[in-house]
Amino acid sequence: WRYRPILPPRDRFWADPFVVEREGRWYIFVEDYRYSDKRGRISVIEMDSKGCWTPARVVLERPYHLSYPFLFEREGELYMIPETLANRSIEAYRCVEFPDRWESAATLMENVNAVDATLLQRDGKWWLFANMVENAGASLMDELYLFWSTDPLGRDWTPHPANPVLSDVRSSRPAGRLFERDGRLFRPSQDSSQLYGYALSLNQVTVLDERRFEEEPWSRIEPNWHPRVMGVHTLNFAGRLTVVDAFYRRSKLRG
């Protein structure tokens, strides 16, 4: 009941919200998909402590589709890894003027079919989670792959020997950054068993090392908390602000 909808103009949808807090304001980065050209770019929405928000403005655009603007910090600088499946790569961008200017920083992987790359820094390593397919035509919902490196901007990513570490349409695909609570590590994931982005699964990671990966279901967020919501897709938070995206039923009539 605490959630307040932020609705996009009718010529587009917003998805995959990631949020950072700076000096008492929140900056929500989203996939900004325009129906006219069927291509996503990354936009930012600013929100103040009262929940008032500014119109979205584009901060990163490429000739190919962008989505899932995963954010992380390294050595005091902010980076973004948007989904670049359309370019068959995993790319990183560095923020050179917050929040509006980003420049290419590195290509982590090339010639891969990967979606929703999500990083975690833990135990002296950077872990990269992503759903991937090895054969054309296979689903991107089913199989979670894991890699590790000592440099999040390098190309030297070691595949986990158990890849794919998870094969389950109900919980494989990433749905936001991993987070810790009370000493436990949680990984949000998508449940697309009924439709794409139907529900969110929160999974507790119980084993994460160079040989094994194990997690177990902990909680779920289903689309039953608002009469217009038909699916829940991504979960992220910063400080007091939690953001989710949802399939939201809207009238075709203006107003």
Distances (CA, A) of 210 to 79, 116, 123, 156: 25, 21, 11, 15
**Which 8-state DSSP code applies to residue 255?**
-
Q: How many CB atoms are closer than 10 A to CB 196? A: 13
Task: List, as own/partner pairs, every contact residues 179-183 make where C-beta atoms lie below 8 angstroms and the sequence separation is at least 24, other chains included.
Answer: 179/237
pLDDT (tens place) for every residue of the chain, 255 residues total: 678 999 999 999 999 999 999 999 999 999 999 999 999 999 999 999 999 999 999 999 999 999 999 999 999 999 999 999 999 999 999 999 999 999 999 999 999 999 999 999 999 999 999 999 977 677 899 999 999 999 999 999 999 999 999 999 999 999 999 999 999 999 999 999 999 999 999 999 999 999 999 999 999 999 998 889 999 999 999 999 999 999 988 876 654
**Which tokens in the block code for residue 151?**
């440099």
What are the strands, taking DSSP E only, across the chain? 12-22, 25-34, 39-47, 57-60, 67-74, 77-84, 89-97, 101-110, 113-122, 125-133, 143-149, 158-159, 166-167, 179-181, 184-191, 199-208, 213-221, 229-238, 241-248
For residues 140 and 173, is the Cβ–Cβ distance under 8 A?
A: yes
Question: How do residues 221-242 score in pLDDT, each as one tens digit?
Answer: 999 988 899 999 999 999 999 9
Is the distance from CB of 80 to CB of 98 less than 8 angstroms?
Answer: no
SS3 call for 77: strand
> What is the per-residue pLDDT for 126?
98
Length of the chain: 255
Q: 101 pairs with which residues across the strands? A: 97
* Cβ proximity of 175 and 169 under 8 Å: no
* β-pairing verdict for 166-167 and 158-159: unpaired
Q: What is the pLDDT of residue 63?
A: 97
The helix/strand/coil state of 85 is helix
The pLDDT value given to residue 254: 58
Which backbone phi and psi does 223 adopt, to 5 degrees?
-80, 60
